[in-house]
Amino acid sequence: MCDDGRMLFSVLVEVSLREGVADPQGATIERSLPHLGFDGVRGVRVGKSIRFDLEAADEASARAEVADLCQRFLTNPVIEDATITVTEGAHR
């Protein structure tokens, strides 16, 4: 709980390419794995993760704000999806 009664949440946004969008980085990693002796690895997809702490009145408003942030800035909805995890308390 912050001084003003608002709560602190830790947020993890995982950005991945949408299904059907080619992922040349994932494909390249997957192709190189057998050369290193790692067999049986399939479906490699490369994305990025973004973490931050967020002050909000409650969990619902925290989630709504993160969803808006993802839609307008953290992802390009034409090619990317976001998986959002919100938990109470700051990241350590």
Partner 1 sequence: MAPRVGVVQFPGSNCELDALEAVRLLGGDAEILWHGDATVAGVDAVIVPGGFAHGDYLRPGAIARFSPVMTSVMEFAESGGPVVGICNGFQVLTEAGMLPGALQKNRGLKFLCTTVELRVDSTDSVLTSEADLGAVLRVPINHFEGNYTCSPETLAELQANEQIVLRYVTNPNGSVDDIAGICNAGRNVVGLMPHPERAVSDLLGSQDGVPLLRSLLLGATASA
- Least distance from C-beta 82 to partner 1, angstroms? 12
Q: Is 12 in the site for partner 1 (CB under 8 A)?
A: no
The residues with which 85 forms a beta bridge, in sequence order, are: 12
Which of residues 53, 79, 83, 87 is near partner 1 by CB under 8 A? Answer: 79
CA 36 to chain centre: 28
| Helix H or strand E encompassing 15 | strand 7-17
Q: What is the footprint of partner 1 within residues 36-75 (CB under 8 A)?
A: 73-74
| Phi, psi (degrees; rounded to nearest 5) at 18 | -65, 155
Residue ranges in contact with partner 1 by CB under 8 A: 17, 21-22, 24-25, 28, 73-74, 76, 78-79
